[in-house]
Structure formats: structure tokens, C-alpha cells
Structure 1
Amino acid sequence: MSNVGIVDLFQNTDLEFIGETATNLEKSGHRAYNHALVSVLSELTFMQQSEPVQTAPFWQAKSLQQMTMTEWESLCDGCGKCCLNKLIDEDTEELVFTNVACNLLNTKTCQCSDYGNRFKKEPDCLQITHDKIAEFNWLPSTCAYRLLAEGQGLPEWHPLITGSRSAMHQAGQSVRGKVVHEAQAGDWADHIITWAS
């Protein structure tokens, strides 16, 4: 049998086992078999080393604090839920979401219409940063920042997994078509929702 055939035969065999077998054959005087197994071992080791190494995506390989600004920003799925106004229930002190969106939110794209100047135009806008991880419980339960801070993975519809925001919108995970702006809302208590929390 050629070395190629032997390699195929031993392809799923533990390399340590092959190495031990080669050593035992050498000790018992079967040099020809030993030589063949050593060749196979070398070939298999080379094949394993030349296979592309599967590296984990950055959100699995790094902590939130280790991420670059680009990686950090890309965690945002663009759902728009964090741009919804929230209220504190007077009886339970529970944080509740409303479907009243910040006036800067583009309700079709679910993106901020003036992201660079949002803090000037909307003083209540909060910046999500590494040093505020302990405060992430106000974010929606589907938010990547909150999920990763809690040791969970990204949802299957997240743009980093699917490559676009379309799957998020199709899964009903964005605010598209579900919100009103502050200017048109009236009493926010009339707009309490459960789908965004």
C-alpha cells in the first residue's frame, strides 16, 4: 500500500496512537513498518498544520473591554430599541419601554438621523461605553452589548452573523413601523409596550 493509501486509512486516527505504534514497531525490529508509519505520521501532521485555522469571531474571542472602537460599534444591530423612551413604573419601580422614539430616530432605517451631533441635540441621549457595562440592564434583552455582558451569544438574526440588517427587520426585532416620535406622542403612559424590553 502506498503512503497515500496509508494516510487515507489513518486520517481519522489519533496521531499520538500512530506515534506509539511506530515506536513499538521500532523496538520489536519491524523497521520497514516503523518507517512507513513515521512517514504517515509526518504526512498527517503536515496535513493538520496546513488546514486553515478556524478563528473565533471577535465577539467570542474578546471581552467587551478588549474590543476596538470599530468592533464595539459593529456590535450595535441598529434595531433602534435603545432610542425608545422608557418610564419607571411608580408601583413596581420596574423599567418599562414605550414606543415613543427620540425625535432624531429615522423610523424607516432605525438609524439616528444626526448621529454625530446627537448629544448636542438630545441631551438625554446616553452613550453606551465599555465602562458602563454594569448599567446595561436598561438596554433591551436582545441588545448585543447586554447579551455579551451577561455571557450570552449574539442572536441568529444579528447583522454580524447574517451580513445585513434585513434578517433583523424580517424577524421583527427592530422598531421599524412600530413607533411614533416624541413630538406626536402625547402622554407617554399611553404608549407602554412589552415587545421592546
Structure 2
Amino acid sequence: MTASDPIRREGLRDLYWERVPLRNMTPREWEALCDGCGKCCLNKLEDPDTNEVAFTRVACRLLDDATCRCAQYDIRKTLVPECVVLTPANLAEIAYWMPSTCAYRLLYEGRPLYDWHPLVSGRAETVHEAGMSVKGWTVPEFEVDEDEWEDHIIEDL
């Protein structure tokens, strides 16, 4: 399957994201909510006084900038212990620092998915075509000292 091919919907109930509570989704349905934007893999800075979160262009060392997917998804926690594994159980605690366009956050907040989301459009590439992914503009974290992450803050994300 190439990025422009239709997404695979085997094992997914029709429009499940509109009807099934997040906590009742199957593992396959939960994983299919990810639009493949790569934004959650950007390093973030949080102001300890205000809890305001700023996204940076600095990406996790495992992010494949060409596909916007984790290069080692199945073993990411082993390689990057600080990686957050999103689950229905911890979503309430983490939703505030998820990207505003993230399907998990949208559904948690009771909002619909965007038309460019692959589950809606039927094609994985629409997230990139809509300019909603980090494809091609990140900087790997091993190239930037943590002291310099502020220089890479993204204003609109």
C-alpha cells in the first residue's frame, strides 16, 4: 500500500469514531484514529507556571520525517522511555498537550474529525495534502541542544 492508496478499513466498524466511546474502541479502531500527522512526536516545552504548551520543530529521534510515522513504533518505549503511550485511560491527563487537530483530542472534546482525516477521506495522504502534517520540516532532536529548543518554537500548530 502506498501513501496515496485508500486506507484499509478491514476490522473497523462503519463510522465507529462517531458512535463508539473512546474507551469502547477495539485496539485496531483506537490505532486507526491516528491521522499520521507526526505532531505528537514533536518535542514540546511547557511553562511550569501557566502549563502553557509550546510545540517545537524538534522531533523525536524515532520520527521518520518523510512518512510522519515512528520508525520503531512497536518498541518505542524501550528506545525512548519518556515516550507517552496514549490510551483511553490516560487521555484525560494528556489531551491538553496534544495537537488541536489530533483525532484523539477532538473526539475526547466531543468534536468531529476533519475532512482531511484518513478515516473521513478514505486516503492516508490527505493529512499531508492538507498541510496538516510535519512532513519535511522537522529537525531531529539529536541535532539540536535542548537549551536551544526555544529557538524552534512553532507559533501555529
- Normalising by structure 2, we get a TM-score of 0.85
**Alignment partner of 2:89: what SS?**
helix
Structure 2: distance between partners of 1:137 and 1:161: 24
Alignment partner of 1:173 is 2:128: no
CA-CA distance at 1:194 after TM superposition: 2.1
Alignment of 1:126-141 (within 5 A): 126-135=84-93, 136-141=95-100
2:57 aligned residue: 99
CA-CA distance at 1:170 after TM superposition: 1.1
Equivalent position amino acid for 1:62 in 2: V
Equivalent position amino acid for 2:142 in 1: A
Alignment partner of 1:188 is 2:149: yes
**Alignment partner of 2:45: what SS?**
strand
Choose 1 or 2 for highest CA Rg.
Answer: 1
Q: CA RMSD in A?
A: 1.5
**Alignment partner of 1:131: what SS?**
coil
CA-CA distance at 1:92 after TM superposition: 4.0
Residue 121 of structure 1, aligned match among 55, 79, 84: 79
Aligned length: 142
Structure 1 unaligned spans of 5+? 1-54
Residue 18 of structure 2, aligned match among 44, 60, 74: 60
Which of 126-135 and 91-100 deviates more?
A: 91-100
CA deviation profile, 1:3-41 (whole Å, cap 9, x unmatched)? xxxxxxxxxxxxxxxxxxxxxxxxxxxxxxxxxxxxxxx
- Normalising by structure 1, we get a TM-score of 0.69
Equivalent position amino acid for 1:183 in 2: F
Equivalent position amino acid for 2:156 in 1: W
Runs of 4+ in 1 over 6 A off after TM superposition: none
2:110 aligned residue: 151
Bigger relative CO (Cα 8 Å, ≥ 6 apart): 2
**Alignment partner of 1:71: what SS?**
helix
Structure 2 unaligned spans of 5+? 1-12
